[in-house]
Structure 1
Amino acid sequence: MNLHADSVAVLTAWQAPDSQQEALRQAFLAFLASSPDACRREYAPGHITASALVLDASRRRTLLTLHPRVGRWLQLGGHCEATDAGLREAALREAEEESGMTGLRIDPQPLHLDAHPVTCSGGVPTRHLDVRYLVHAPADAQPLRSAESLDLQWWPVDGLPSDVDSIPHMIKLALGTGHSHEP
């Protein structure tokens, strides 16, 4: 299965946790139906991306990256690559690359969806349709900052930086009883 087909299958099967997420799920599916290139970073109208909310083994801290282009603390993630078998694999690859950690475990289903305007490396305004997964770090995991980040650090889930947009909501979903916590 290719990345586009996997994205359609994942989002078709996903049970959104609320009406806002369901509206985004429907919008993502419509976007995917509009073009076979909807997962390619070169697709100017926008593209599907994959992110990871990484929690430590205690589930009391999340790993955030200080993004060089955006200038804010964000969850790990980014563009899908042609070599990614699917969204889940893309999110895990991004988490491993950006954290430098091994032994990460990723939940089988998405945690959250988000659509936001962005200017990618080509300098053209576009939008990211971000599919976000919950990723679990092993005990004693030590992140190593990559060149894709200005900084990388663990933050207490109840002591996040002030400008983190939807991360508190994702943490509530991740720690809530309605979401699977194991792959």
Structure 2
Amino acid sequence: MTLHDDAVLVLKAYEGSGDQAELRQVYLDHLSAHPDGMWKACGAGHLTASALVVDPSRGRVLLTLHKKLGMWLQMGGHCEPGDQTVAAAALREATEESGIPGLALTAGGPVRLDRHPIPAPCHWHLDVQYLAVAPPDAVEAISDESLDLRWFGYDEVAAVADASVVRLAEAARAAF
């Protein structure tokens, strides 16, 4: 099975409602129209995979201050040829960017979808968002893609991050 095939299966199984259901269909239509829709080279946009690192026992999430964007975001990025699944891509990105070994994605697949514009030559990131639980003794380490890493309580996220990250943190809080 290809990564593209896995993404289609993941999206078909995704049970988001309201705008999430509409967005799910946008993603599926995009993949149907663009066989290269998993890759950064797809000029019409491409799927990305991300994961919000969560410490549920302390009611907090780990955000990265993205080096290029200067924004507090969840860990995530582009799929790579070695990724077998979208979930594996999200876990790889979360592990690389947080520096935390032993992260585990929550069961049940992605918790949100988020489509956002990006500068040309590409036009859209179609982000598939997961939750990754940090082990109890987790110690983060800043990667080359980040200016900073910081834990925020669920209630603190709205003061530092955009609406997409706030919605993702709300989904994390609801999950735990």
TM-score normalised by L of structure 1? 0.90
1:139 to 2:150 alignment: no
Aligned 8 A contact 2:154 2:173 in 1: no
> CA RMSD for the aligned pairs?
1.4
Q: Which residue of 2 aligns with 1:65?
A: 64
Aligned length, in residue pairs: 174
**Matches of 1:162 and 1:98, distance apart in 2:** 19
> What code does the residue aligned with 2:61 have?
T
**Matches of 1:55 and 1:167, distance apart in 2:** 13
**Matches of 1:170 and 1:57, distance apart in 2:** 14
**Matches of 1:49 and 1:107, distance apart in 2:** 18
Q: Percent identity?
A: 46
Secondary structure in 2 matching 1:158: helix
**Matches of 2:115 and 2:35, distance apart in 1:** 19
Gaps of 5+ in 1: none
Q: Which residue of 2 aligns with 1:15?
A: 15
Equivalent runs, 1:39-78 vs 2, <5 Å: 39-78=38-77
Q: Which residue of 2 aligns with 1:163?
A: 161
Alpha-carbon spacing, 1:104–1:34, altered in 2? closer, same or farther (3 Å): same
**Matches of 1:88 and 1:9, distance apart in 2:** 12
Q: Which residue of 2 aligns with 1:114?
A: 114
> What code does the residue aligned with 1:9 have?
L
**Matches of 1:162 and 1:85, distance apart in 2:** 33
Stretch deviating more after TM superposition (163-172 or 47-56): 163-172
Equivalent runs, 1:94-109 vs 2, <5 Å: 94-108=93-107, 109=109
Aligned 8 A contact 1:66 1:73 in 2: yes
How far 1:168 sits from its partner (Å)?
2.1
How far 1:58 sits from its partner (Å)?
1.3
Aligned 8 A contact 2:41 2:122 in 1: no
**Matches of 2:94 and 2:73, distance apart in 1:** 12
> What code does the residue aligned with 1:146 have?
S
> What code does the residue aligned with 1:137 have?
A
Gaps of 5+ in 2: none
Aligned 8 A contact 1:57 1:138 in 2: no
Secondary structure in 2 matching 1:175: helix
**Matches of 1:142 and 1:162, distance apart in 2:** 21
Bigger helix fraction: 2
**Matches of 1:116 and 1:59, distance apart in 2:** 30
TM-score normalised by L of structure 2? 0.94
